[in-house]
Structure 1
Amino acid sequence: MTRRPPWYSNPGAALERRQRLIKIPGANVADQGIPDVFLDGYARILADASATGRRLTRDELESRRVVGERAAEAGHGLRALVGAHLDATRRHWPAAAVSPDSVLAAAAQAVDAFAEGYERAQRLAVRQEEAARREFIDDLLYGRSDLGQLAERAERFGLRLSFEHAVAVAQGTVAYDEGDDAPREVERALNGRFADRSILVTTKDGRLVCIAPGDQDEVLAFFAKQAYAATDGGQVAIGRAQPGPGGVVQSYEEALNALDLAGRLELDAPVLRAADLLVYPVLTRDRQAMADLVHSVLGPMREARGGAQPLLDTLTAYFDAGCVAAEAARRLSLSVRALTYRLERIRHLTGADPSDPVHRYTLQTAVIGARLLDWPAADF
């Protein structure tokens, strides 16, 4: 014969034991600050379901989900709410229950539905917060909102736009979203080291973006280091510190322009500072004048065999190598003799000698203009 536990034949003892198992010392509703409204209907559902041992109806489950949503919106913690339900189960244990198991089964279904509603409200709140954050970032980086309102919204995200801010932008070989590993790793590293600073890390158009106070260059330098590693050798550009709400837009655009210049000029430095590249916007400010310079100085190279591109590459390598012929030849995989021949050919076609300091500045400026204007591929 199967041996029964000592409390099996005594329903009162069984009930008392069950209650001891679910009782949480000090877990009454008042102690946890949980209003009774979030337990409305729970005792009735518990009594009705446990009286027959049935499962909760669809309407009963939905009613608990709705209450769970309201509790989440009110800001109560889920742990305290579950404790309140367990305490209510103990206090309102149905006397007419089929068995203790039927009470616990009904309680489990009710609490599970309550938690589902709570989590549903939390997910909605997170989505709304993410949407508000994305809208703020778009307005901040595009300057589309009223600056006064933008400054007020910025405080919610830890920025004080009345001060100077600088922006760093990192791009890799792939596009990044905020939920990707790379931006999350960078943000964790920054928060771990500069938790007390007013920093915002986000993504925009597939790039990583960091906004930091303008007087804290160490933050952006650290961001550049972390972003370089997270993007597997991507490139980072840092704009100059600019004042006021509109300063973020200016610094952001400077960083983007620096990345664009790097692509056009084939600058491979891992970190670019807009302050070091100011000469290039000056050179391209009058596009027509630059186009005229390129056409008049370098245009005759189109007559060379193979076109102007090989000779333009030669000048680019020569100037990038500090006008050292041997180094330029190595970069082009040419012999020094072949390089010297090309330089002589350039002098003959253009009338400008690359080795002459007087001619060198004009040629180098024209070469920079050609790279910025994508000449000779682009016809102008």
Structure 2
Amino acid sequence: MISVKNVLTVLGVAFTAYFAARGLLWTGRPIPQPLIIVISVGIYLAVTWLCIFWQPASQRSSPVPRAAGSADNESLESLEAQAAPHAAGEGIRGPLPLPVTAQVLALACAVIVPNAIPIAVGETARTASFATWYLGGIGALMTIVMVRRRPWTAWAGIVLLTIASFLWMGPLNALALGLVGSIVWVTCAQLLVFSMDRAARDTSRLTRLQRAATGWQTSQVVRQRERRVQVQRALAVAGPVLTRTVAHAGVLTEDDRLEARIAEGRLRDEMRGPRLLDDEVRAELERARRRGANVTVLDEGGLDDVDDETLGIIRAQLAETLRSASSDRLYIRTSPDERVAVTVVGRSPSVGGPSDEDSVDLWREIPHPGRA
């Protein structure tokens, strides 16, 4: 598979091999220390290719966590605030940072090779093409180090190369024979890595914003559907009562008034405690109201994190409690307690006649299933 990384790797190997080959082309000329040249070229290739290919498993990037859209977002204005903390640490792609050992070897190569080659070729051949290859070769090595996200090491290597080349061939010769090109390569590599990282961070941030926006939009669609369902349910409950009220010009019989109160109670239940309701609970609430009980249902958020299976168990226990209740007033509320899911309180007038101080004749705490 052809990728940008593979292409850059091939180019890096090809360029470094080219510089190494230049260093071996001294055919026909007497060289004082040819073995030193061969060893220097070998060291250069080994270190350079190590810097290209060494990627320890411990430094491999972990997959970027997917940002799920939250249904609790209130507006699009909060999306950028949600994405900003994550975008700062993510979005970096490309070559991994070079390990410390490889950095040390690269600096050692920047010291050894530029000093060994001038010694090996002798004073008369220090400006020959086969003796100046290290100017471009070390520059290519430091470019690789820069691409591997070690700028301080790369510039330290360039400084070492500059000092050695100035000492062995003079500033003018060093600048004319390739030192300027090496400095330009490292500079361009640093600018390229900086631009690439910035583009990757922006892309990651925009991706997170898009995901958050999609989640927000989805939550709004869900809420719209819930509102439509509630409106349809309200019409189904209150529609017949309103129709009869209009048809009789507001003059209702006792049965009609009872149906109106029951319809009002149903609507309040649907708005205040929808997660407490199923068909069985609704039937028991209606039965309690038809016998004259005043029922209040209130969900204050205690069941938001409860799954459907657990919610079914809680609803079944609530229906059983309502089935056996005979209180005149029933208060059904979710509980903030970690162990208690729903509290049912029943109150009836005290013995001896009506009184504001009703006695509590029912107290039931429905626990969360599976919680101590």
Q: Same fold (TM over 0.5)?
A: no
TM-score, normalised via structure 2 length = 0.24
Higher Rg of the two aligned structures: 2
Relative contact order, higher structure (CA 8 A, sep 6+): 2
